[in-house]
């Protein structure tokens, strides 16, 4: 197998089982220290470079678990040029959950990865795939927390039904009220074709579904509280679903005026907000969650 060879910016495109993925390694990478890992899945027809740009996960000033830096992995998909992740009706290549699990194994065998601190995030189609990973009882145990952004939650990503993670899932999500690609209020079918495979949930109901799952008790109604303006023009719904398990949590940020974008002060994804979702919310959320390992 080809040796790992990172360029002067810390990037390496790794081939694996006929597909490939992009790895960004921190400048402070220490082979003797286990590093947290963030998977970031790009939107439909986009690429890892764009996802790295809009998310900002490779910022050298970010840290998880008091590490000075951490590993970032943005994935490539094999559908060129119309790259799409599993769970979307337009995705042509199956088994991307299995491919993701293969990548985790590849990372563990070749880099010093903290297996208790692997995280998944993504935008749009990549956000829907992030939800699918959280709902899959095989992949969910491998990730410590999940962060879908402006997620395209088609039925096959299991946003409401058929979601069986087998454990409580720490999840934080963001959605703009002005999103006209993946509308906050959802839809029953595709506007143009009428296909129900393009149906989308109401985001409020999606969040409530995660809160209910995390109670692990069908007789208990999850308590969801709303915080008004944690950031300007933003509301936050919080569900702490267990008095004894800090990982049984759901956080949902609703951003007034934001379209189909990753919330950021830079506007690199087309929409500008008064806060940066990655630095202000996602990284601190990831920092607070980890897996128990033997």
Q: Residue 72: what pLDDT?
A: 60
- Report yes or no: 253 and 207 within 8 Å, Cβ to Cβ: no
What are the distances in angstroms from CA 121 to CA 4, 6, 147?
24, 23, 4
Q: Return the pLDDT at 220.
A: 65
pLDDT for position 28: 82
Please name the residue that has the structure tokens 């709902």.
135
Conformation bin of residue 18: beta by default, left when phi > 0, alpha when psi is -120 to 50:
left
- The CATH code of the domain at 11-287 is 3.40.50.1820
2 secondary structure, DSSP code: P
Query: Would you say 264 and 54 are in contact if contact means Cβ atoms under 8 Å apart?
Result: yes
SS (H, E, C) 76-137: CCCCCCCCCCCCCCCCCCCCHHHHHHHHHHHHHHHCCEEEEEEEEEEECHHHHHHHHHHHCC
* Nearest CA among 119, 42, 53, 121 for reference residue 84: 42
Q: Alpha-carbon distance 241 to 210, whole Å?
A: 10
d(CA 80, CA 90): 13
| Torsion sign, CA atoms 101, 107, 109, 114 | negative
- pLDDT at position 227 is 94
Q: Give yes or no for a contact between 231 and 182, defined as CB atoms under 8 angstroms apart.
A: no
For residue 234, what pLDDT is reported?
A: 97
How far is Cα 27 from Cα 105, in angstroms, rounded to an integer?
A: 23
Task: Point out which residues pair with 173 in neighbouring strands.
Answer: 252
Residues of the chain with pLDDT under 70: 1-3, 67-81, 94, 218-221, 294
The residue extents of the domains of the chain are 11-287
Contact 243, 168 (CB under 8 A): no
Distance CA 12, CA 10 (A): 7
User: What is the CB neighbour count within 10 angstroms for residue 27?
Assistant: 9
Which two three-digit tokens encode residue 108? Answer: 């563990």
Structure tokens at 260: 């189909």
Closest CA to 121 of 41, 57, 228, 54: 41
Q: Which helix (H) or strand (E) covers residue 283, if one does? A: helix 283-287
């Amino acid at each position: 197998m080809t040796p790992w060879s990172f360029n002067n910016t810390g990037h390496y495109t790794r081939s694996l089982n006929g597909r490939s993925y992009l790895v960004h390694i921190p400048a402070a990478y220490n082979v003797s220290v286990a590093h947290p890992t963030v998977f970031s899945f790009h939107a439909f027809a986009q690429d890892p470079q764009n996802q790295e740009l809009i998310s900002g996960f490779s910022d050298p000033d970010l840290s998880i678990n008091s590490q000075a830096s951490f590993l970032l992995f943005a994935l490539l998909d094999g559908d060129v040029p119309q790259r799409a992740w599993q769970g979307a009706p337009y995705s042509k290549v199956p088994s991307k959950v299995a491919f993701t699990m293969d990548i985790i194994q590849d990372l563990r065998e070749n880099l010093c990865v903290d297996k208790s601190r692997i995280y998944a995030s993504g935008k749009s189609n990549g956000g829907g795939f992030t939800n699918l990973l959280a709902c899959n009882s095989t992949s969910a145990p491998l990730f410590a927390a999940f962060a879908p952004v402006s997620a395209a939650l088609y039925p096959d990503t299991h946003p409401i039904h058929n979601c069986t993670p087998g454990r409580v899932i720490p999840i934080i999500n963001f959605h703009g009220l002005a999103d006209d690609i993946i509308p906050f209020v959802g839809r029953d079918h595709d506007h143009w074709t009428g296909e129900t495979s393009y149906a989308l949930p109401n985001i409020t109901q999606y969040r409530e579904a995660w809160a209910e799952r995390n109670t692990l008790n069908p007789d208990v109604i999850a308590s969801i509280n709303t915080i008004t303006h944690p950031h300007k023009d933003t509301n936050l719904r919080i569900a702490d679903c267990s008095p004894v398990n800090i990982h049984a949590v759901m956080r949902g940020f609703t951003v007034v005026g934001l379209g189909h974008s990753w919330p950021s002060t830079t506007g690199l994804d087309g929409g500008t907000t008064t806060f940066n979702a990655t630095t202000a919310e996602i990284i601190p959320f990831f920092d607070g969650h980890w897996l128990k390992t033997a």
